[in-house]
Homo-oligomer: A and B are copies of this chain.
Amino acid sequence: MKQLLQEIRHNPLLWLLVFVPAVLVGEKVRPEAHTLLFVLAVLAIVPLAALLSHATESVAARTGDAVGGLLNATLGNLTELVIALTALRAGEYMLVKASIAGAIVTNTLFMLGVSFLLGGLKYHVQEYNRVSARVQAGLLFLATVALLVPSVTPQSDVLAGAAFTRKLSVGLAVLLIVAYGLGMLFSLKTHRELFQSAEHGEESETPWPIGLAVATLAGVTVLVALVSEVFVESVQKAAESFGMTPAFVGFIVVALVGAAAEMASAFSGARKNRLDLSVGIALGSASQIALFVAPVLVLASYCIGPTPMDLQFWPGAVAMMMIATLTAALVTNSGRSAWFIGVLVLMVYLVFALSLYLLPPRTH
């Protein structure tokens, strides 16, 4: 406990934890103040995500390489998963799908772009292990393609019933989870040396004792779930009052909030000339959304959602995901980076954000 408090004292990001009680109290006292609750919820989720990430790494560090890696990989996007599950239970499928698509686009374009830019401002040209970057970009491309097939196929058959899309989505979810399991076997067991430099990154931080880590993991997950509920309830109304479309909120705001902790690691890696780490976090995180978070949400929708959710995205989201993964594949292909590469990757992200921001809301 003392260690936890000490950690909080040293890390200014964690001072935002004060917004956790604020949002929970606020929800009781003024449930109709949607905009305020939304802002408080965003401010509360960021430090919780950081704690969750640190706790996961600490548990991973204490349980040995194989189990630890497994935990780290599976819980790495826990924040996104909890937010999406909350939205799923509320039947906000548009928000769930936008947050899946947004997480993939934000991780590949924003996280990668800012990493290249920050690194490039400090170092003239940065070189990184292009073999592992290529493997990871390849995995990401294939994972995204598999995720997108239901959206591409039925476009040709507008009459095809929702039954087709739903059956396809379940079959696909099972295939994706099998691929995820095999991918874990690949990256943690049979070919772990390909991913090593990315894995090494975290070792500078001292891990917490196992008891504290597990307790934090459990406690913080509950807190994230509670705050997510406020977030999901308030987001629609708040978005309206900010003049933001639901697509923009799901795609950009939720994705940036959910990935705040990983971004902090990726950016600090880039500043330390360890772009392997940044590229690994960005592409690995995006692959995980496609191969693990998305199918879990589809299968979970049969248990906790009002109706089953399919994996059909709107064409604009499909185009953005395809462009984002292709960009990542082309950009990481050379194993070299400079600041302007970061600017251009970021520009594609800004253009996406701008068009989602301006999109007339009633067309959804």
Contact = CB atoms under 8 A, between A and B. Distances in A.
6 contacts: A135-B341, A146-B351, A152-B315, A179-B343, A182-B340, A333-B333
Q: Which one of A156, A344, A352 has the greatest number of beta carbons of chain B within 10 Å? A: A344
Contacts of A345: 142
B160 A360 contact: yes
Interface stretch (A51-59, A183-191, A300-308): A183-191
A143 B182 contact: no
Interface in A336-364: 336, 338-341, 343-345, 347-348, 350-352, 354-356, 358-360, 363-364
Given A334-B131, A348-B146, A354-B171, A186 B339 contact: yes
A142 B355 contact: no
A165 to B, nearest CB: 9
Contacts of A359: 153-154, 157, 160, 164
Q: Which one of A146, A149, A176, A356 has the greatest number of beta carbons of chain B within 10 Å? A: A149
Interface in A131-173: 131, 134-135, 137-139, 141-143, 145-146, 149-150, 152-157, 159-161, 164, 167-168, 171-172
A66 to B, nearest CB: 16
A15 interface: no
A124 interface: yes
Nearest to A355: B153
Interface in A184-212: 185-186, 190-191, 194
Classify chain A's interface size: 35 or more
Q: Which one of A182, A323, A348, A358 has the greatest number of beta carbons of chain B within 10 Å? A: A358
Given A351-B175, A360-B164, A344 B143 contact: yes
A331 interface: yes
A319 interface: yes
Given A347-B142, A350-B175, A186 B340 contact: yes
3 closest A-B pairs by CB? A186-B340, A142-B344, A157-B363
A181 B176 CA distance: 42
A354 B168 contact: yes
A182 B345 CA distance: 13
A102 to B, nearest CB: 14
Interface in A53-89: none
A12 interface: no
Contact of A315 (B142, B143, B156, B363): B156
A167 B360 CA distance: 11
Contacts of A164: 358-360
A5 interface: no
A330 B134 CA distance: 9
A222 to B, nearest CB: 35
A142 B340 CA distance: 11
